[in-house]
Chains A and B, each alone.
Chain A
Amino acid sequence: QQQVKQSPQSLIVQKGGISIINCAYENTAFDYFPWYQQFPGKGPALLIAIRPDVSEKKEGRFTISFNKSAKQFSLHIMDSQPGDSATYFCAPITETSGSRLTFGEGTQLTVNP
């Protein structure tokens, strides 16, 4: 049972462009929606997260938008930089699953200089 589906699998953008990564989920019990960022040779690290009581959260160049009715949440990277080149994973959580994250398949982002 695939609970989380990310798109696209890979994304190439030019420096200064906007990167958009989407995550669709099935489980309506999810109540915390994080994005993790992974650089080559490293483990994933939390980038930004949102709770379902708000529709958008912004931290610097990174924004999460949340659409509860569509069961989707998206990561937007404004003014994309080569240093943003990484793999991004969504990993929504339910209160009962807690730290037992279910990860999306990942999106490999390449930002060209």
Chain B
Amino acid sequence: NAGVTQTPKFQVLKTGQSMTLQCAQDMNHEYMSWYRQDPGMGLRLIHYSVGAGITDQGEVPNGYNVSRSTTEDFPLRLLSAAPSQTSVYFCASSYSWAGANVLTFGAGSRLTVL
């Protein structure tokens, strides 16, 4: 199994440009989420989904949109990139949103906004 696959691995954007970070999982996981990782701040939850068609905001949702049309895919959209969105983004999934579950993370997407 591939697990959680993120594309692209690296991306450079100019301020104001838009882009989509892709995330796909092949484990039939119910729960998917996006985190951003910044130095000294750990991982912060951006958006999450408890199933197809259901999404909700996390700790730092501003500037990001998500949708979940299938169980497998959970893309993260930046509508108008800002330098403050320079970060490493991780997609993660788990079998269920409830209870103590192990999150499986992708390898990350490093985004630089100039």
- Please determine whether A99 and B42 come into contact, CB atoms closer than 8 angstroms: no
Interface size of A as a range: 20 to 34
Q: A99-B31, A106-B42 are in contact. Are A46 and B100 (CB under 8 A)?
A: no
- Please determine whether A99 and B43 come into contact, CB atoms closer than 8 angstroms: no
Residues of B within 8 A of A103 (CB): 35, 42-44
Residues of A within 8 A of B107 (CB): 41-43
Digitize B85-114: 1 where CB-to-A-CB distance is under 8 Å, 0 elsewhere.
Answer: 000001010101111111111111000000
Interface size of B as a range: 20 to 34
- Please determine whether B103 and A46 come into contact, CB atoms closer than 8 angstroms: yes
Most B CB within 10 A of own CB, among A31, A32, A36, A98:
A98
Most A CB within 10 A of own CB, among B103, B104, B107:
B103
- Please determine whether B96 and A98 come into contact, CB atoms closer than 8 angstroms: yes
- Please determine whether A101 and B103 come into contact, CB atoms closer than 8 angstroms: yes
The total of interchain contacts (Cβ-Cβ below 8 angstroms) comes to 71
Q: A43-B105, A43-B106, A106-B42 are in contact. Are A99 and B33 (CB under 8 A)?
A: yes
Q: A9-B40, A89-B43, A106-B42 are in contact. Are A98 and B98 (CB under 8 A)?
A: yes
A105 interface residue (CB < 8 Å to B): yes
Most B CB within 10 A of own CB, among A43, A45, A103:
A43
- Please determine whether A104 and B42 come into contact, CB atoms closer than 8 angstroms: yes
Digitize A35-57: 1 where CB-to-B-CB distance is under 8 Å, 0 elsewhere.
Answer: 01000011111100101000000
A98–B100 CA distance with the chains assembled, in angstroms = 6
Residues of B within 8 A of A100 (CB): 33, 45, 48, 58, 97
